[in-house]
Amino acid sequence: MQLSSVSKSLLAAAAAILVGACGGAGSNSGASATPALDVGSGNLTGAGATFPEPFYTKAFYQYNQLHSGVQINYQAVGSGAGIQQYTKGTVDFGASDVPMTQTEVTGAGGADSLVEIPTTLGVVAIAYNVPALTTLQLDGPTLAGIFMGTIKSWDDPAIKALNSGASLPSKPITVVHRSDGSGTTYAFTDYLGKVSPDWKTKVGVAKSVSWPVGIGGQGNAGVGNSIKQTDNSIGYVELAYVVQTGMQAAVLKNADGKFVKPSLDGATAAAAANTSPSPDNFSITNNPGATTYPIASFSWVIIKKAQADAVKGRAVVYLFDWLTHDGQTFGKDLQYAPLPKPAQTYGEGQLKLITAGGAPILK
């Protein structure tokens, strides 16, 4: 794995100390060891996407164990609320599963005032709660029909055709969707917009849409809880919530006509088709590939380009330099795929644009 600037500097410092201690060639008893890297300090606050929250919680805790002078308080309030809090200046970083729109960027001070950095990669699973139904296969048009309300019952012919021999009840389908502005919703509706012309024209693609049917839940956890508590329901949540709570997830037909389970490998395959991810080129839904899972998404953080507080600014920059490199290891067990190299490279370039006192923080 590629090391972050934090790890490289710490290794260099350790090597210098070791050489001096052992009296290596050219050592000088009067020379001082290379000082440890200054990663800044302070109490950092962030808010936004619920999609990466399990990963952030674990990774931020681990970073604090490495650098006790940096404490991170992250509030998973949804991508829309995260962008709003960033724009109001009440947080040190915002978080969203979809980059800001041009209108949002303008409202936050313009493109020259901020950077957006991909931090992790995950999948949106289609969770369902149908008693005695242990396997469910769906394709894009059928899923769109369910969420548009044109497919109303679990024994609808469209669902039966995809699940030969399955025990499908003659029960109404309860659709569960997000009630808040959500990057997870954007990824889900982005996918539906690609596989269903009706969805694209009648409902649309956005962090918030006017849902034709269903009940709303706050955050991924709220949607997941509603599904678990409601028989014959279906909704969309980040895979981590499915795994952690023991929910069942549908197998989806991808762009190559293969039925695939939501997985880390499926997310990695989806991202492989995007060799230059950026806020202008971020969608990885319904990408080709036999193993590709069709609803995958990067998650992003938003950081001010000019940091007013140099010490806290260093803490923010070095936190996300670490998170996008060494910190990726803490996502795997939580069902997040590591960032591919193009995404890491893009993030590095953006982090190097952040300044304090007019000078770049990350050299």
Of 56, 37, 60, give the one whose Cα is nearest residue 48: 56
pLDDT of residue 5: 55
CA nearest neighbour of 247 among 268, 233, 265: 233
Place of tokens 């050592």: 27
Write out the chain's pLDDT in tens, 363 residues.
Answer: 455 555 554 444 444 333 333 434 333 444 445 567 899 999 999 999 999 999 999 999 999 999 999 999 999 999 999 999 999 999 999 999 999 999 999 999 999 999 999 999 999 999 999 998 999 999 999 999 999 999 999 999 999 999 999 999 999 999 999 999 999 999 999 999 999 999 999 999 999 999 999 999 999 999 999 999 999 999 999 998 899 889 999 999 999 999 999 999 999 999 998 999 999 999 999 999 999 999 999 999 999 999 999 999 999 999 999 999 999 999 999 999 999 999 999 999 999 999 999 999 998
Residue 34 confidence (pLDDT) = 58
Query: Cα(74)–Cα(95) distance, rounded to whole angstroms?
Result: 9
Q: Residue 311 has which token pair?
A: 């010490």
Tell me the two tokens of residue 77. 């309030």
Question: Each residue of 231-264: pLDDT tens digit?
Answer: 999 999 999 889 988 999 999 999 999 999 999 9
* Predicted pLDDT at 30: 43
Describe the strand order of the beta sheet including 251-253 as a list of residue ranges: 137-138, 251-253, 259-260
Quick count: other Cβ atoms within 10 Å of Cβ 65? 7
For the chain, list the domains and their CATH numbers.
5-27+34-121+297-360 (3.40.190.10), 123-296 (3.40.190.10)
pLDDT value for 144: 98
Q: Label each residue of 46-82 as H, E or C.
A: EEECCCCHHHHHHHHHHHHHHCCCEEEEEEECCHHHH
CA-based max dimension of the chain: 84
CA distance 126 to 221: 14
**pLDDT value, residue 160:** 97
Torsion sign (Cα): 302, 217, 187, 288: positive
Write out pLDDT tens, residues 32-43.
455 678 999 999
Query: Pick from 251, 8, 33: which is nearest to 139 by CA?
Result: 251
